[in-house]
Copies of this chain bind each other. A is one copy, B any other.
Amino acid sequence: MTKEITLYNSLTREKQLFKPIHAGYVGMYVCGPTVYNDVHLGNCRSFVSFDIIFRTFQYLGYKVRYVRNITDVGHLLDDGEDRIAKGARLEQLEPMEIVQKYTNGFHDIMRIFNALPPSIEPRATQHIIEQIEMVKAILANGLAYEKNGSVYFDVPKFAQETGQYGHLSGRVIDDLLQETRDLKRQDEKNHPADFAIWMKADPEHIMRWPSPWGEGFPGWHLECSAMSTKYLGKTFDIHGGGSDLKFPHHENEIAQNFGSCGCAPANYWLHGNMLLLNGRKMSKSEGNTISPEQLFTGDSPLISKGYTPMVVRFFMLMAHYRSTLDITDEAMLAAEKDTNE
C-alpha cells in the first residue's frame, strides 16, 4: 500500500493529489547537468531537492524509476558554440574528456551531499538515433521543416493546431521574438519562436553524427523528450527540474512530445526554486558566488568558516524546494547549531 501525497503542479498551478499512472509505481524524469564545468551550488540544491522527492516516494511505498540525464552535447551558448566543445577548446581536451571529467566531478559532489544515484542516468550522445527518429516523426506530422541541413520546430503551426504551447511557462508566441537559445542561424527560421531540433554541423564542429539531413547534432531540448519517452513511456508521472528550465527547455519538450507522439510527456511538473547568496542571485561577474568546495572548506570571504556537507544538506532542506533559499553566514551557523542539537 502506498500513502497519499499532494504535489504542486507547475503546469496547472495548483496543489493536486498525486495519482500515479500505474498503482504503486512512479516514473520521474529530472533534467540533469550539462557537464562542461564544475557543478554550481544552485544545481546542487535542485538535485538535493529531487533526491528528497525520490526518497519521499520510496518512503510512501512506491517503486520509483528515477531518470536523470547527463547533457553531453547540443546545449549551446548564446554565440552558438556547444558548451562541451568550448570546454574542450579551453582545456585542450577531446570533448568526451571534458564530459568524463565533469561527470566524475558531478558524481563526487552528489555523493558528498548523500544524494542517491538515479535509477537510470542516460546521456544525450547515447541517444542520437532515438533523437533522429523523433525528428523524423515530428517532420512526418508536419510540425517541423528542414532548412540547409537543420530542422526547426514550427511553433506557430503547433500552437495553432494543438493549442498546447505556452501553458507551462505562461509565454505567448508574440513575446518569444529573441528568447530562444539557438540564436545562430536565426534567418533560417520561418518564425523567431521556432527552435532547432537538429542542427547542421559546421566544418569545424567536432561532435557530429550522420542523419537524413546531413551531418549534424541534436538540439538541446530534444534529448529529454527522446530519453524520457524511451525509459518512462510516452506519458509518465513526474517531470522535474530547476525553475530556470521552464522556458524554453520544458515548454519545448512538451511541444516535441506532442509533436511526435500526440500526447503530453508528464502529468505533474515540479520545479525547484533558486538559491540566493546574501539576498542576491549568485553571479560570477559580480563576485557574489560560492562553490560547494568553498562552502565546505570555508575558503571564501563571504563566510566565516567551513560547513560540513551534511550541514549544507540540512540547510537546503530547511526551506521548501519551491521557495528561494538565501545562503548567509548567520543562516548556515544556525543550521549547524540545529544539526548539533
Binding site for B on A (CB under 8 A): 65, 94, 96-97, 99-100, 104, 107, 117-123, 125-126, 128-129, 133, 209-210, 231
Choose from B121, B123, B133, B210 the contact partner of A133 (Cβ within 8 Å).
B210
Choose from B96, B129, B209 the contact partner of A231 (Cβ within 8 Å).
B96
Extra inter-chain contacts (7) besides given A107-B107, A123-B123, CB under 8 Å: A97-B119, A99-B120, A100-B117, A100-B118, A100-B121, A125-B126, A129-B210
- Shortest beta-carbon distance from A16 to chain B in Å: 27
- Shortest beta-carbon distance from A44 to chain B in Å: 19
Residues of B within 8 A of A97 (CB): 65, 119-120
Do B96 and A117 have beta carbons less than 8 Å apart?
Answer: no
A126 and B70 alpha carbons, distance in the complex (Å): 12
Do B129 and A94 have beta carbons less than 8 Å apart?
Answer: no
A104 and B118 alpha carbons, distance in the complex (Å): 10
Chain copies in the assembled complex = 2
Residues of B within 8 A of A119 (CB): 94, 97, 100
Residues of B within 8 A of A100 (CB): 117-121
- Shortest beta-carbon distance from A129 to chain B in Å: 5
Closest to A211 in B: B129
Choose from B104, B123, B231 the contact partner of A126 (Cβ within 8 Å).
B123
Do A231 and B104 have beta carbons less than 8 Å apart?
Answer: no
Do A104 and B117 have beta carbons less than 8 Å apart?
Answer: yes
Do A126 and B129 have beta carbons less than 8 Å apart?
Answer: no
- Shortest beta-carbon distance from A238 to chain B in Å: 17
The 3 closest A-B pairs by CB, nearest first: A126-B126, A96-B120, A97-B119
Residues of B within 8 A of A117 (CB): 100, 104
Name the residue in A122, A123, A126 with the highest tally of chain B Cβ atoms < 10 Å from its Cβ. A126
A122 and B103 alpha carbons, distance in the complex (Å): 12
A123 and B125 alpha carbons, distance in the complex (Å): 10
Closest to A97 in B: B119
Closest to A209 in B: B129
Residues of B within 8 A of A96 (CB): 120, 122, 231
A-B contact pairs, 6 of them (CB 8 A): A65-B94, A94-B119, A100-B118, A107-B107, A125-B126, A128-B128
A21 and B227 alpha carbons, distance in the complex (Å): 39
- Shortest beta-carbon distance from A69 to chain B in Å: 12
Closest to A72 in B: B126
Residues of B within 8 A of A99 (CB): 120
A69 and B133 alpha carbons, distance in the complex (Å): 26
Do B231 and A94 have beta carbons less than 8 Å apart?
Answer: yes
Residues of B within 8 A of A121 (CB): 100
- Shortest beta-carbon distance from A93 to chain B in Å: 8
Residues of B within 8 A of A123 (CB): 123, 126
Closest to A104 in B: B117
